[in-house]
């Protein structure tokens, strides 16, 4: 059976309190048996990747990074599989498309675009209570094309529980 993949998205230049949430998310996701995909760079992406590798059940290959550039060495040091896309910010579509669910932590315009794409693709979208688009959109529909909302999570633990409940 294919292991589910969860994307953690957020600012590439995130403050320590946001990175702490992302790190906890990465760790808890891998401990629940999920693989992690991020945009492979710094901030939230590096923190989630670092957390995933700290999980007691971590296995090599659990941490994927889809990079905007063409050089795999640009990936943060916690990425197991670096996928250089050469697509610039359009790589956001690959991050979202490759995931079964998306968890947003804070975030600016790049995170907003990923949340909107995930919404349009019918993916589970979870917004963690952290300053940025994740908090602004949590508990609300992005538009009228779906009957549900961006799931609201008060913590990393709650976000992972929502994913586990909805994805299995």
Distance, in Å, from the CA atom of 150 to the CA atom of 137, rounded to the nearest integer, reads 6
* Total Cβ atoms within 10 A of residue 144: 6
105-146 confidence digits (pLDDT tens): 999 999 999 999 999 999 999 999 999 999 999 999 999 999
Q: What H or E segment, with its residue span, contains residue 134? A: helix 133-137
89-106 confidence digits (pLDDT tens): 999 999 999 999 999 999
Q: Taking all residues of the chain, what is their mean pLDDT, rounded to a whole number?
A: 97
What are the domain boundaries of the chain? 5-167
What is the assigned CATH class of domain 5-167? alpha beta
* Helix (H/G/I), strand (E/B), else coil: 70: coil
**Full DSSP string of 9-42:** EE-SS--HHHHHHHHHHHHHHHHTT-EEEE-SSS
């Amino acid at each position: 059976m294919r292991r589910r993949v969860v994307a953690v998205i957020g600012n590439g230049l995130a403050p320590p309190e946001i990175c702490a949430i992302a790190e906890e998310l990465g760790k808890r996701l891998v401990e629940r048996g999920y693989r992690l995909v991020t945009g492979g760079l710094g901030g939230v992406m590096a923190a989630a990747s670092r957390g995933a590798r700290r999980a007691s059940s971590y296995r090599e290959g659990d941490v994927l990074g889809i990079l905007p550039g063409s050089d795999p060495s640009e990936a943060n040091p916690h990425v197991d599989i670096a996928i250089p896309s050469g697509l610039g910010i359009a790589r956001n579509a690959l991050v979202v498309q490759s995931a079964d669910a998306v968890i947003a932590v804070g975030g600016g315009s790049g995170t907003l675009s990923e949340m909107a794409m995930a919404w349009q693709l019918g993916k589970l979208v979870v917004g963690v209570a952290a300053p940025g688009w994740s908090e602004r959109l949590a508990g609300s529909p992005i538009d009228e094309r779906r009957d549900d909302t961006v799931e609201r999570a008060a913590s990393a633990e709650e976000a992972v529980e929502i994913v586990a409940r909805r994805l299995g």
